[in-house]
């Protein structure tokens, strides 16, 4: 190969691979290019892919959550939609009320089923609707004279001295400067007068004098007086029920006072009385009864919650919550309320929702939705930052500050397991791909090396054939010229010259035969004609052909042919060539043993032909390869002999075409024994034809 043009690396590789000729160099260059292209186009991309695939196995962990995320997102979205619906409806209803100039703090049911209290704060601070604030009343001082009179009154009433008791109550009323205490005493007086039928001081007088005052239990004295009066009337005549109903209507129509439960209690008492009357046959409108009972309950609950939450509201207002435009939502973990602040002109309107009820209702919806998606669970919870498991998706509520809806995998262990399995599968696939690529590289390299080897073998073959041709031709020409020029006078010498010419011509024709046969075999054009033959005749003929060669090498030939050899179906010329090739090899590689043995044996259905020598023998690793095309052992003792590496190839082909087989074994004591096993009857096929 031209060393000038090839880079140093290639030269190095060439030396490593023992490249000898220009042709081999070109082969090597081509192979190197092939390896380069292979590395660039296959190995590099595969390595890159493997790298990315391995890197992506760590993403496998998150990708299952990512798989569930769309479902989780959908679920969360539905719950958020429901939450928006609750508050959207509420805000629209409030807007409508304000637009129509209707009270935004009464009839809370119609605004939202979750409302528990509402306040209208004038100027953002002072409560104007729906309840009044209690007036600060004078502290009622109990004087000893008042208490004494009251004690006497009570004792007299217990004794049944009603007139005496009424007088004592009247006395007590005069013994105090507190209008409230005096009103309470007067109420008792009026009650006893009512029983006694004395008209001197009646409930009507109490209502007139003390009606708006509250007694120590928070009842308006007027309300109690009216209740007592109406109950009395109801006991007397059926028309008395009317007064009770009027009382209820009056109480329901009046403004109630925060922290004062008197009005609803009196109304409730009157309603119960009316219900009893109705049950005992009184004519009371049942619709009115139930309607009134319902709105009483609602308003009472609203009064209760409005009072309960009032301090919290005051604190929020102090902090300036609700000054922003639109509706502001606030909540505090310790409070049962969700607050909504809304400006309306100068006023601040504040609503309190039952927060836990809203959360529970959202949780119920979430449960219903996650029941449909078996692999997810959802939870409405405080946004405290700690996820309850591997979270698939979470979102904060718009109107419930501090709360969020979170969707997680229903079965976190299963998820982890699935995750692990997925990662393992990926790694296995990647490793398999890498292994396959590595094997692919190995196979390719081997293939390239084999190609190189076969290129070398073919080069050797061409060189060997030309070399083998040259020496007999030279011999024949030299000896022929010597005879032609009449340079040899001695008859014996001349005879020897002729013999040598014939021998060299035979060698030449053997070589040409072999090359032509090999070519025919390669083309698949070789045909054999099977006839019954006497093996002894055949062996003698082959030995005769080789005799000059054997004797020329100074070797002795030992024939061992039994008399009872059977006739075999063979192609005489082909089997002859087998023997000649084996004998020729025995001469070449067995010359040092000075001995060749040829023997034939009849065993069962086969004829065995053996050619033995005591030469250099065959290394065990070569024993299987010597029959391959062009194969020549690397042993220097073999290399010293001329050869083309096709002799045994032809031998094996011919033997197999006869349905037989050939083996090479060591001869005991050194050398090689080739054994040809031939079936007695020729077999069709393998390119063989038989006649006769």
Is residue 626 a contact point for ligand ADP (CB under 6 A)? yes
Sheet holding 327-331, edge to edge: 126-129, 115-122, 347-354, 337-344, 327-331
Contact between 632 and ligand ADP per CB under 6 A: yes
Measure the CA dihedral 61/67/72/74, to 10°.
Answer: 160
| Per-residue DSSP letter, 220 | B
112 binds ligand ADP (CB under 6 A): no
Q: Rule CB under 6 A: is residue 497 a binding residue for ligand ADP?
A: no
For residues 318 and 313, give the distance between their C-alpha atoms in angstroms, rounded to a whole number. 8
Nearest distance in Å: CB 533, ligand ADP = 24
* Spatial distance between the Cα atoms of 685 and 224, rounded to a whole number of angstroms: 132
Q: Decide the pairing of beta strands 528-533 and 568-570.
A: antiparallel
Question: Which span sits near ligand ADP by CB under 6 A: 280-288, 309-317, 497-505, 627-635?
Answer: 627-635
Q: What is the largest CA-CA distance in the chain?
A: 195
**Binding span for ligand ADP by CB under 6 A among 108-116, 254-262, 599-607, 609-617:** 609-617
Query: What x-and-dash track marks residues 380-419 binding ligand ADP by CB under 6 A?
Result: ----------------------------------------
Q: Least distance in Å: CB of 624 to ligand ADP?
A: 11
Stretch in the footprint of ligand ADP (CB under 6 A) among 45-53, 354-362, 566-574, 629-637: 629-637
Can residue 645 be called a binding residue for ligand ADP (CB under 6 A)?
A: yes
- Contact residue for ligand ADP among 633, 653, 660, 676 (CB under 6 A): 633
Judged by beta carbon, residue 472 or residue 643, the one nearer ligand ADP is 643
Tokens, residue 277? 């009357």
Contact 235, 273 (CB under 8 A): no
472 binds ligand ADP (CB under 6 A): no
Separation CA 203–CA 225 (nearest Å): 6
Helix (H) or strand (E) holding 362: helix 355-372
517 binds ligand ADP (CB under 6 A): no
- Out of 185, 227, 244, 616, the only residue in the binding site for ligand ADP (CB under 6 A) is 616
Q: From 300, 289, 288, select the one nearest 130 (Cα to Cα).
A: 300
| Complex with ligand ADP: residue 27 or 633, whichever CB lies closer | 633
**C-beta of 679: minimal distance to ligand ADP in Å?**
24
* Residue 672 binds to ligand ADP (criterion: CB under 6 A): yes
- Using rule CB under 6 A, residue 615 touches ligand ADP: yes
Identify residues 196-235 at the interface with ligand ADP (CB under 6 A): none
The token pair at 42 is 């296959």
Q: How far is CA 430 from CA 38, 57, 60, 420, 436, in A?
A: 20, 9, 13, 15, 10
Stretch that binds ligand ADP, among 50-58, 104-112, 421-429, 646-654 (CB under 6 A): 646-654
Q: 222, 262, 472, 643: which one contacts ligand ADP (CB under 6 A)?
A: 643
For ligand ADP (CB under 6 A), the number of binding residues is 23
Closer by beta carbon to ligand ADP, 451 or else 635: 635
Q: Which stretch binds ligand ADP (CB under 6 A): 116-124, 330-338, 472-480, 584-592?
A: 584-592
Kindly tell me which residue out of 262, 593, 647, 660 binds ligand ADP, with binding defined by CB under 6 A. 647
Q: Which among 447, 351, 463 is positioned nearest to 90, based on CA atoms?
A: 351
Could you say whether residue 593 binds ligand ADP (CB under 6 A)?
A: no
Whichever of 492 and 621 has its CB closer to ligand ADP, that residue is 621
Nearest approach in angstroms of CB 630 to ligand ADP is: 8
DSSP 400: S
Name the one residue in this structure whose structure tokens are 């300036």. 320
Beta-ladder partners of 588: none
CB-nearer residue toward ligand ADP: 97 or 632: 632
Q: Is 579 in the site for ligand ADP (CB under 6 A)?
A: no
Are the C-beta atoms of 356 and 392 separated by less than 8 Å?
Answer: no
Query: Between 117 and 646, whose beta carbon lies closer to ligand ADP?
Result: 646
Out of 108, 118, 586, 655, the residue judged to bind ligand ADP by CB under 6 A = 586
**Which is closer to ligand ADP, CB of 1 or CB of 550?**
550
Q: What are phi and psi of 686, to 5 degrees?
A: 60, 30
Considering beta carbons, is residue 217 or 642 the nearer one to ligand ADP? 642
Going from the C-alpha of 475 to that of each of 464, 479, 499, 556, 614, the distances in angstroms are 17, 6, 12, 25, 29
347, burial (CB in 10 Å: exposed 0-12, middle 13-18, buried 19+): buried
Of 589, 593, 614, 660, the one binding ligand ADP by CB under 6 A: 589
Residue closer to ligand ADP (CB basis): 182 or 644: 644
Phi/psi of residue 393, each to 5°?
A: -165, 140
What are the CB-based long-range contacts (under 8 Å, 24+) for 79-83? 79/362, 79/365, 79/366, 79/369, 79/378, 79/380, 79/405, 80/395, 80/397, 80/398, 80/405, 82/362, 82/365, 83/358, 83/362, 83/397, 83/398, 83/399, 83/400
Of 356, 327, 319, which is closest to residue 343 (Cα–Cα)? 327
Which residue of 243, 618, 676, 682 would you call a contact of ligand ADP, by CB under 6 A?
A: 618
Buried b (16+ CB within 10 A) or exposed e, 623-649: beebbebbbbbeeeebeeeebbbbbbb
Would you say 143 and 182 are in contact if contact means Cβ atoms under 8 Å apart?
Answer: no
Minimum Å distance from CB 539 to ligand ADP?
A: 17
Nearer to ligand ADP, 313 or 580 (CB): 580
DSSP one-letter code for 106:
S
User: Residue numbers of the site for ligand ADP (CB under 6 A)?
Assistant: 585-586, 588-590, 613, 615-618, 626, 631-633, 638, 643-649, 672
């Amino acid at each position: 190969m031209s060393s000038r043009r090839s880079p140093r690396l290639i030269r190095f590789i060439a030396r490593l691979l023992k490249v000898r000729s220009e042709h081999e160099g070109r082969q090597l260059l081509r192979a190197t290019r092939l390896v380069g292209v292979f590395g660039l186009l296959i190995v590099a991309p595969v390595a890159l892919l493997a790298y990315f695939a391995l890197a992506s196995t760590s993403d496998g962990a998150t990708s299952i959550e990512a798989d569930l995320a769309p479902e989780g997102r959908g679920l969360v979205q539905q719950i958020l939609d429901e939450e928006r619906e609750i508050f959207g409806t509420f805000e629209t209803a409030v807007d409508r009320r304000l637009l129509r100039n209707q009270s935004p703090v009464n009839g809370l049911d119609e605004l939202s089923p979750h409302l528990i209290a509402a306040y209208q704060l004038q100027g953002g601070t002072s409560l104007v609707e729906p309840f009044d604030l209690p007036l600060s009343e004078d502290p009622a001082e109990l004087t000893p004279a008042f208490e004494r009179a009251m004690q006497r009154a009570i004792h007299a009433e217990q004794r049944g001295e009603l007139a005496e008791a009424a007088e004592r109550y009247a006395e007590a009323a005069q013994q105090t400067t507190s209008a409230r205490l005096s009103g309470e005493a007067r109420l008792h007086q009026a009650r006893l007068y009512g029983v006694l039928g004395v008209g001197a001081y009646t409930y009507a007088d109490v209502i007139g004098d003390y009606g708006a005052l509250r007694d120590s239990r928070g009842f308006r004295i007027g309300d109690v007086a009216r209740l007592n009066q109406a109950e009395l009337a109801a006991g007397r005549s059926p028309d008395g029920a009317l007064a009770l109903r009027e009382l209820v209507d009056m109480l329901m129509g009046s403004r109630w006072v925060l922290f004062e439960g008197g009005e609803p209690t009196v109304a409730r008492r009157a309603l119960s009385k009316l219900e009893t009357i109705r049950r005992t046959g009184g004519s009371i409108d049942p619709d009115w009864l139930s309607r009134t009972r319902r709105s009483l309950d609602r308003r009472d609950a609203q009064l209760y919650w409005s009072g309960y939450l009032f301090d919290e509201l005051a604190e929020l207002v102090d902090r300036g919550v609700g000054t922003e435009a639109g509706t502001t939502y606030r909540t505090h973990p310790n409070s049962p309320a969700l607050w909504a602040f809304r400006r309306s002109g100068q006023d601040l309107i504040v609503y309190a929702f039952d927060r836990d009820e809203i959360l529970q209702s959202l949780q119920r919806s979430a449960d219903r939705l996650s029941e449909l998606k078996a692999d997810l669970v959802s939870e409405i919870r405080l946004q405290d930052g700690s996820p309850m498991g591997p979270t698939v998706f979470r979102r904060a509520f718009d109107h419930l500050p501090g709360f969020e809806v979170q969707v997680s995998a229903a079965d976190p262990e299963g998820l982890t397991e699935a995750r692990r399995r997925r990662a393992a599968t990926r790694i296995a696939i990647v490793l398999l791909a890498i292994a396959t690529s590595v094997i692919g590289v190995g196979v390719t390299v081997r293939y390239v090396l084999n190609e190189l080897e076969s290129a070398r073998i073919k080069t050797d073959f061409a060189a060997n054939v030309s070399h083998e041709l040259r020496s007999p031709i030279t011999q024949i020409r030299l000896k022929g010229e010597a005879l032609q020029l009449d340079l040899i006078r001695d008859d014996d010498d001349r005879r020897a010259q002729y013999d040598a010419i014939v021998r060299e011509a035979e060698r030449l024709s053997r070589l040409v035969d072999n090359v032509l046969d090999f070519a025919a075999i390669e083309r698949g054009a070789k045909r054999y004609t099977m006839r019954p033959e006497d093996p002894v005749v055949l062996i003698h003929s082959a030995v005769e052909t080789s005799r000059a060669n054997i004797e020329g090498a100074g070797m002795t030939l030992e024939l061992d042919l039994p008399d009872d050899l059977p006739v075999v179906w063979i192609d005489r010329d082909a089997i002859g060539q087998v023997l000649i090739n084996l004998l020729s090899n025995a001469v070449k590689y067995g010359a040092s043993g000075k001995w060749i043995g040829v023997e034939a044996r009849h065993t069962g259905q086969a004829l065995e032909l053996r050619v033995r020598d005591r030469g250099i023998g065959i290394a065990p690793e070569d024993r299987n390869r010597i029959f391959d095309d062009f194969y020549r052992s690397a042993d220097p003792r073999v290399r010293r002999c001329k050869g083309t590496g096709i002799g045994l190839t032809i031998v094996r082909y011919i033997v197999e075409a006869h349905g037989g087989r050939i083996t090479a074994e060591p001869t005991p004591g050194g050398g090689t024994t080739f054994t040809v096993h031939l079936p007695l009857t020729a077999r069709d096929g393998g390119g063989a034809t038989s006649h006769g």
